[in-house]
Amino acid sequence: MASSEKSTSKGQAWFCTTGLPSDIEIEVDDMTFHLHKFPLMSKSRKLHRLITEQETRSFSSLNPQTSTALTVVVAEKEEENEQETEENSFPHIKLEDFPGSSESFEMVAKFCYGVKIDLSASSAVPLRCAAEHLEMTEEYSPDNLISKTERFLSHSVYKSLRESIKALQACESVSPLAESLGVTEQCVESIKQNRDNTNTELWFEDLAQLSLPIFRTVILSMRSEDLSSDVIESCLISYAKKHIPGILRSNRKPSSSSSTAASENEQREILETITSNLPLDKSSISATTRFLFGLLRTAIILNASETCRDLLERKIGSQLERASLDDLLVPSYSYLNETLYDVDLVERILSHFLDSLEERSSTALVEADGRSPSLMLVGKLIDGFLAEIASDANLKSEKFYNLAISLPDQARLYDDGLYRAVDVYLKAHPWVTEEEKEKICGVMDCQKLTLEACTHAAQNERLPLRTVVQVLFFEQLQLRHAIAGTLLAAQSPSPSQSTEPRPGEEEVDAGKWKKTVRENQVLRLDMDTMRTRVHRLERECSNMKKVIAKIDKVGSPATTVTDRPRSWSITKKFGCKFKTQVCDSQEATVVDHRSRRV
């Protein structure tokens, strides 16, 4: 048997050259098959029934008694069929919605004529559906097409992961019938069972080739059987990278084949499908956080649903300690936001992190001082974000303040990062009022600044006077504690040391003692310098007080004798709970120290 093509009014034609003229035409899609009745009727119950009905109608149309009993409409249709039959001299059958299109029917025709057909994973699925559609069962004819395709799928397809994926791809064109026959389910089960026998990366790449409806079916099946959440998450990540370009900032090269790129609506549907199937628990994959931020940026650009974005924000919040500063810098894509970066988004993610931290606080790892490592990592991350956005001229002081105080005190061991952010903000916003400056500086705890930060803050002209005085006071306390600790360490012998010094230990101890004395002298000198600086500030404040008092006397009516001058205290003015005498550089003890050094 051979087949040839020639042009007809109905499109392409397929002929069976067996030496006998064709006695039936079967039209599938745009292809007309010129075949013989007997081979088709011997294998297919449905074709046998259709051909018999066609012959019966043709015979009835030639009987005048039957034709007079029919209505006018039916008579007209039968006249058309009669004319078509007379023109072609044999019946014509059109198969609507044939599974697998004309290619599958061509293989069916070859099978009916006894020609050997080569099956593959891609062709066996539509051929199995076509055999079901044509009712080519074992009861009707032994060794029929249904049993042949079933054996091939069981022995050659379902046992191989790669072949099962190819068969699953072929299920898309015949999805309703393939699902009802259980072919789709068998392919999915084969994929799950053979996952351990192949390379994981190749497994993810093969699944990424599936269409979205078939891929959704696979994911739902995985979730129903409690498969590892990491496996499901990795599978979703691989699929998103394949079909949504530009998720990761490091991979934003335009695709070489723009025709295969998904449209904006298709990308939105893929993104929402992936987001809805992401496991909500914390992932053990470190690279997931950056991928989630990429999904979130894409969701904002594609204007995905609020539910989709909220799920991504919650998922990111559950593992925020794994994020980097670059991840948090999400641009403001909406014209409603005045700032360069989306600060409101970071506030919402941080809120989700704190909520999740409370939920897992009972089982979370906590250090001896009650600090959570995750919380401290996020504190450092937020301080870096504050320093990055502080230079934005459109950033309101209220928004900066709210984000800075959103973290609890345990999140920061030192406030140096927060001080840096405050300094950058004051430098970029010189027009803020003194009241706003004091409020912004109030987010810092001066007791948690290191000596380096205290030294810088004491000389920072952008800070309000109250903050400078507080910094100087706590810097003095730190120096005192450092001196006391050094003296105690030098004077108290180690328990492991013996009562009698070993040979040469006296010289070593003497050298250590001299070094300690020199360090103490340097520390005392620094303390004297700070006292002098504080004393200078006190004098400036006193002069300011006198000037204000003179202005009040000039501008106000004469006061009575009984009026008392207003009391003025630097401790009340600047909120410092210490006596000014502590910082007085004219104390006798300080003079004695200086006289000794001289």
Q: Which amino acid is at 302?
A: L
Mean local confidence (pLDDT), 560-571: 44
Residue 384: pLDDT band with limits 50, 70, 90: very high
> How far apart are the C-alpha atoms of 348 and 46, rounded to whole Å?
62
Mean local confidence (pLDDT), 561-586: 42
Which DSSP symbol is given to 545? Answer: H
Residue 449 pLDDT > 60: yes
Which DSSP symbol is given to 8? Answer: B
Residue 365: pLDDT band with limits 50, 70, 90: low
pLDDT for 299: 92
List 31's β-bridge partners, or say none. 12, 28
Q: Give the 3-state secondary structure of 400-451.
A: HHHHHCCCCHHHCCCCHHHHHHHHHHHHHCCCCCHHHHHHHHCCCCHHHCCH
Mean local confidence (pLDDT), 488-510: 52
User: Between vectors from CA 308 to CA 302 and to CA 313, what angle results, nearest 5°?
Assistant: 105
More confident site: 346 or 578: 346
Mean local confidence (pLDDT), 437-446: 86
Residue 158 pLDDT > 60: yes
pLDDT for 402: 93
CA distances from 477 to 414, 418, 531, 579, 580 (A): 16, 21, 12, 13, 14
Residue 597: pLDDT band with limits 50, 70, 90: very low
Residue 498: pLDDT band with limits 50, 70, 90: very low
Residue 300: pLDDT band with limits 50, 70, 90: very high
Side-chain half-sphere exposure of 394, counting CA atoms within 13 A = 9
> How far apart are the C-alpha atoms of 302 and 320, rounded to whole Å?
23
> How far apart are the C-alpha atoms of 337 and 386, rounded to whole Å?
17
pLDDT for 505: 47
pLDDT for 398: 92
The dihedral region occupied by 29, where left means phi > 0, alpha psi between -120 and 50, and beta the remainder, is: left
Q: Which helix (H) or strand (E) holds 161?
A: helix 161-170
Q: Are 413 and 371 in contact (CB under 8 A)?
A: yes
Nearest partner of 290 among 313, 310, 316, 271, judged by Cα: 316
Residue 4 pLDDT > 80: no
CA distances from 522 to 52, 88, 512, 531, 589 (A): 114, 115, 15, 14, 16
Tokens encoding 420: 């840096």
Dihedral over alpha carbons 404, 406, 411, 415 (to 10 degrees): 20
Q: Give the 3-state secondary structure of 330-386.
A: CECCCCCCCCCECHHHHHHHHHHHHHHHHHCCCCCCCCCCCCCHHHHHHHHHHHHHH
Residue 136 pLDDT > 90: yes
Tokens encoding 510: 């003497």
Task: Supply the pTM of this predicted model.
Answer: 0.68
> How far apart are the C-alpha atoms of 480 and 139, rounded to whole Å?
100
Question: What's the gap between Cα 318 and its chain centre?
Answer: 11
> How far apart are the C-alpha atoms of 68 and 156, rounded to whole Å?
58
Predicted confidence (pLDDT) per residue in 171-203, tens digit: 888 888 998 999 999 998 888 887 766 677 778
Side-chain half-sphere exposure of 212, counting CA atoms within 13 A = 15
Residue 529: pLDDT band with limits 50, 70, 90: confident
Highest mean pLDDT among 55-69, 403-417, 573-587: 403-417
Main-chain dihedrals φ then ψ at residue 263, nearest 5 degrees: -75, 175
Mean local confidence (pLDDT), 550-578: 52
Highest mean pLDDT among 54-58, 331-335, 499-503: 331-335
> How far apart are the C-alpha atoms of 171 and 168, rounded to whole Å?
5
User: Between vectors from CA 469 to CA 468 and to CA 475, what angle results, nearest 5°?
Assistant: 90
Residue 499 pLDDT > 60: no
More confident site: 359 or 140: 140
pLDDT for 420: 92
Lowest mean pLDDT among 77-91, 101-115, 156-170, 377-391: 77-91
pLDDT for 403: 93
Tokens encoding 310: 């909220």
DSSP 60-83: HHH-HHHHHHS-HHHHHHHHHHHH
> How far apart are the C-alpha atoms of 585 and 536, rounded to whole Å?
10
Angle between helices 161-170 and 200-207 (to 10 degrees): 10
Lowest mean pLDDT among 344-358, 384-398, 497-511: 497-511
Reduced to 3 states, what is the DSSP secondary structure of residue 21?
coil
Residue 71: pLDDT band with limits 50, 70, 90: very low
Mean local confidence (pLDDT), 93-117: 88
Strand 24-28 relative to strand 31-35: parallel, antiparallel, unpaired?
Answer: antiparallel
pLDDT for 251: 54
Residue 254 pLDDT > 60: no
pLDDT for 294: 92
Q: Are 274 and 236 in contact (CB under 8 A)?
A: yes
Q: Are 102 and 84 in contact (CB under 8 A)?
A: no
Q: Which amino acid is at 554?
A: V
> How far apart are the C-alpha atoms of 31 and 25, rounded to whole Å?
10
- pLDDT, mean over the chain: 77
At a CB cut-off of 8 Å and minimum separation 6, what does 65 contact? Answer: none
Residue 95 pLDDT > 70: yes
At a CB cut-off of 8 Å and minimum separation 6, what does 562 contact? Answer: none
